[in-house]
Amino acid sequence: MATPRFLSLPSKSFFYFGKQTADQFGTNAALSQDSASTRSITLFDIESSTRDADRGFILHLNCSKGYLSLNRGCNELTFVRGNQSESVSMTVQGSLRSLNCAVEKVTYHAKLDASGWDDIFVTLEERSDKELLGDDGRLYSTTKRIPIEIHSINDAPIIQMSQTYFALHNAWVQLANIAISDADAGDGLVYIQLKVHNGILRVGRSAERIVHLGKTPDTVDAVGSNLEFAATISDAALVFEDLEYKCSIQLGCRDGMRDYLTIYVDDNGFTGSGGAQLSTNSAVIQIQSGA
């Protein structure tokens, strides 16, 4: 029988591996976290009778790109390594009956930055203090490998900025400490929109690094109350280094007035699953006189 293969999404858990899979979906079923059926592991010792189910065994579970959890509380178990909740590797000691209770509900949790393939190795071995059943006096163990295909999730952009800025009336002032990041954007382009209500914004020497800033691809408009552009995360950092704000009488500004800076970032959904992710953040701009 072919080895089952399953799907996982980072931060989304799923139950895996069990007789239900083979019966209901076939051995090559690919199950996401949306599957409602509980998956389990069943352990057998073909040389043990039902009354021998209390004999001692050691169970090893391990993976590399995620964590494993045992979701049932069972008696007569001893954790030699790891624990019941979210361990990369765990070793559990107990009878075959108690171990089967423990692995009735096993969950694989992919790490947030995980993608590609992982393997879950399940090893069952005889304990050295149990009666040896092999004719040659050896202790026996068996290992099964369960491949896991991890599909990455598109992470939302993160916008970091001050919550309040102070601007002198009728003067350009730099809007500092603005940064955006996206864990999986790489060199892909993100869409960025900067808006103020009463004043204007401008971008200086970094404008040529921006793919599109303004109304049409042929127009570079680095001054206005609404700046829209597409850029990589690294190029966007240069834009924010040069970003300035101004509010004057001609724009209807006065001393003590408040304006608001709003930043929108859309990552276009180029990486991972789940579609495009949009983040927004806002700050108050307090207008002050120069006197």
The CA distances from residue 206 to 25, 66, 82, 91, in Å, are 55, 41, 51, 56
Tell whether 210 and 278 lie within a shared domain.
yes
Give the number of domains in the chain: 2
- The DSSP symbol for 250 reads G
Examine the pLDDT at 252 and tell me if it is beyond 70. yes
- Structure-token pair, residue 85: 């909740």
Residue 137 CA to chain centroid, in angstroms? Answer: 48
Tell whether 170 and 58 lie within a shared domain.
no
More confident residue, 28 or 221: 221
Tell whether 241 and 142 lie within a shared domain.
no
- Give the pLDDT of residue 268: 81
Q: Is residue 41 part of a domain?
A: yes
Q: Is residue 231 part of a domain?
A: yes
Q: Identify the weakest region by mean pLDDT among 48-62, 131-145, 161-175, 262-276.
A: 131-145
CATH number for the domain including 183?
A: 2.60.40
pLDDT band for position 262 (50/70/90)? very high
Q: Is residue 205 part of a domain?
A: yes
CA pair distance 248, 251, nearest whole angstrom: 5
pLDDT band for position 85 (50/70/90)? confident
Tell whether 217 and 258 lie within a shared domain.
yes
Closest CA to 142 of 120, 119, 126: 126
- State the chain's mean pLDDT as an integer: 74
Whether 210 contacts 240, CB under 8 Å: no
- Angle (nearest 5°) at CA 81 between 76 and 98: 20
Residues of the domain holding 93? 7-150
Residues in the chain: 291
Q: Which amino acid is at 159?
A: I
Per residue in 37-56, pLDDT tens?
A: 335 667 666 555 544 545 68
Tell whether 109 and 202 lie within a shared domain.
no
Tell whether 180 and 197 lie within a shared domain.
yes
Percent helix, percent strand, percent coil in the chain, to nearest 5: 10, 40, 50
Whether 258 contacts 212, CB under 8 Å: no
Task: Look up the pTM and report it.
Answer: 0.55
Q: Decide which of 128, 150, 172 is a domain's last residue.
A: 150
Q: Decide which of 150, 180, 196 is a domain's last residue.
A: 150
Tell whether 216 and 265 lie within a shared domain.
yes
Tell whether 112 and 242 lie within a shared domain.
no
Q: Is residue 130 part of a domain?
A: yes
- Give the pLDDT of residue 208: 57
Closest CA to 41 of 140, 159, 123: 123
Mean pLDDT of all residues in 112-126: 83
- Give the pLDDT of residue 81: 85
Tell whether 76 and 167 lie within a shared domain.
no
Q: Is residue 2 part of a domain?
A: no
Q: Is residue 1 part of a domain?
A: no
Tell whether 143 and 37 lie within a shared domain.
yes
Q: Decide which of 105, 129, 150 is a domain's last residue.
A: 150
Q: Is residue 81 part of a domain?
A: yes
Tell whether 11 and 141 lie within a shared domain.
yes
Per residue in 154-179, pLDDT tens?
A: 778 999 999 999 999 889 999 999 99
Tell whether 169 and 209 lie within a shared domain.
yes
CA pair distance 255, 291, nearest whole angstrom: 10
